[in-house]
Amino acid sequence: MGKKILPVFVFFLVIFGLAGAGIVSQEKTYSSTEKRELQTRPKPKIKTIKKGKFQKKYERYLSDQFPARDSWVQVQTGVLRLLGKKESNGVYFGKDQYLLERYDETDFDEKQMKKNIDALKGFVQRAGKQTQVRIMMVPTKTWMMRDYLPAFAPTYDEQIFYDALYETFAGNEEVLIPVEKELALQSGDGSPQTYYRTDHHWTTAGALIGYEAYLKSLSETDATERAAKKFPDVRVCDDFFGTTYAKVHQAGRADEIFIYEPKSDLTVVYNMGERTTDSLYETDALEGADPYSVFTGGNQGVIEISGGRENKKTLLLIKDSFANCMVPFLAEDYEKLIVVDLRQLNVGCDVLLEMFSPTDVFILYNSAQFVQDIEFMIKSAGQ
């Protein structure tokens, strides 16, 4: 008899054990790996119970606050991979340990794409009257590295986006920097790693290719030499697991983060005087949950950088997170560099032009993030 009921014992041990662990474990309000607020224990009220709201929240709370949540996710993804699955939570397990986000038509919504590109064109026409405008749309890692996808894995054809972009700017192509072509040229053997394995961003070396392309588009004759001098060779992190990793908790290999140390004495003012410093790097972030924030401390509303070069030139950089690692390259080329993240700011582009009277405007986005920024249209329109 004793032996026979061993499975009963195991069953009760597991369900009571998990129940107990859930009750004693500490509540977390934010998941740094998933980058989202977690549901905390809801308070039961007659009204919310009647409507079923409490019940929904309670179930989300159980899942969000499940003890050792990340480890469970890791186990599940591991099993799915053993079963031959090539993706989990919208992430492909690519060749050479690359984790590649899956993008579908819905991620590049045709209507939103057209709206944003048209809005961009409108802004460029207005800004182009007084300034020199350049646009760089950095392709997604998945598109640039589509050779690394698992066999037959479907992915969005980003060429559709670039075709739409070039078509809209027909006759004014010089504002578009063909970074997608430059990156493709430098993707063979012996080229530096241009995208992280575990994060969706490009590496600092990748951003350097973008920087060189930017210089070339301005017809700087010494573009290649100037870029070469800025090669990022200071390794600040060798165990970087980025946002893509956080979706699956599976990675064969950690990433390294390299930075370039600007030679000039810079003054960096965050968010209109919120904080002033002399560095573009936040080394504390390397120890935190999001090491990519080492670049300018993550996304900031406005960063004003001065002390690069006395050439009376002001560059207004309108950007998303892909630009963060390129800022150090650009900072030394301008007397003033204004870095603006529209998503963190409640001001329109035309106001920015008035406020900072830049001589140059540089718009740098990742293609997918650009298409998905539903506010871009409004904010680029001005007021």
Partner 1 sequence: MVFSSLLVLVRFLPCVLLIYYIVPGCLKNFWKNSVLFLFSLVFYAWGEPVYIWLMFFSTVVDYVNGGLAGYFVERGRRGVARIFVVLSVVINLSLLAVFKYAGRYALPIGISFYTFQSMSYTIDVYMGRAQAEKNPVNFGTYISLFPQLIAGPIVRFRDIAVQLRERRSNLLQIRYGVLRFCCGLGKKVLLANQAGVIFQTVTDTAAGELTMLMAWLGILAFMLQIYFDFSGYSDMAIGLMAMFGFMIPENFNYPYESKSITEFWRRWHISLGSWFKEYVYVPLGGSRRGAGHTYVNIFIVWFLTGLWHGATVNFTLWGLYFCFFLIMEKTWLLKLLKRLPVWLSHVYALIVIYFGWLLFAWEDISGHRAYVKALAGIGAGGVVSDESLYLLVSNALLLLVMLVGATSLPARIAGALTKKDGMGTAILESVYVLAVLLLSVAYLVNGTYNPFLYFRF
**Total binding residues for partner 1 by CB under 8 A?**
44
Interface residue with partner 1 among 27, 36, 41, 59 (CB under 8 A) is 59
Interface residue with partner 1 among 44, 128, 154, 288 (CB under 8 A) is 154
Q: Interface mask (CB under 8 A) for partner 1, residues 25-54, using x and -?
A: ------------------------xx-x--
Of 60-68, 179-187, 269-277, 340-348: span binding partner 1 (CB under 8 A) = 60-68
Q: Output the smallest distance, CB 145 to partner 1, in A.
A: 17
Q: Which is nearer to partner 1, 19 or 170 (CB)?
A: 19
Q: What is the token pair recorded at 208?
A: 């350097």
Please give the helix or strand (H or E) that residue 339 lies within, else none.
strand 336-340
Interface residue with partner 1 among 57, 87, 215, 244 (CB under 8 A) is 87
Of 29-37, 150-158, 320-328, 356-364: span binding partner 1 (CB under 8 A) = 150-158
Distances in whole angstroms, Cα of residue 71 to Cα of each of 74, 76, 171, 214, 290: 5, 9, 54, 43, 19
Query: Does 7 sit near partner 1 (CB under 8 A)?
Result: yes
Q: Which is nearer to partner 1, 78 or 122 (CB)?
A: 78
The span from the CA of 255 to the CA of 238, in Å, is 6
Q: Which is nearer to partner 1, 34 or 118 (CB)?
A: 34
The span from the CA of 295 to the CA of 206, in Å, is 14
Residue closest to 372 by CA, chosen among 159, 178, 194, 105: 105
Interface residue with partner 1 among 31, 89, 193, 299 (CB under 8 A) is 89
The span from the CA of 214 to the CA of 138, in Å, is 12
Q: Which is nearer to partner 1, 22 or 128 (CB)?
A: 22
Query: Does 12 sit near partner 1 (CB under 8 A)?
Result: yes
Query: Does 77 sit near partner 1 (CB under 8 A)?
Result: yes
Between helix 110-127 and helix 159-168 the angle, nearest 10°, is 40
Query: Does 22 sit near partner 1 (CB under 8 A)?
Result: yes
The span from the CA of 217 to the CA of 330, in Å, is 14
Other beta carbons within 10 angstroms of residue 121's beta carbon come to 17
The span from the CA of 241 to the CA of 233, in Å, is 20
Q: Output the smallest distance, CB 51 to partner 1, in A.
A: 8
**CB under 8 Å to 324, separation ≥6 — which residues?**
292, 295, 296, 298, 299
Contact residues for partner 1, defined by CB under 8 A: 1, 3-12, 14-16, 18-19, 22, 49-50, 52, 55, 58-59, 62-63, 66, 69, 72-73, 75-77, 79, 83-87, 89, 150-154
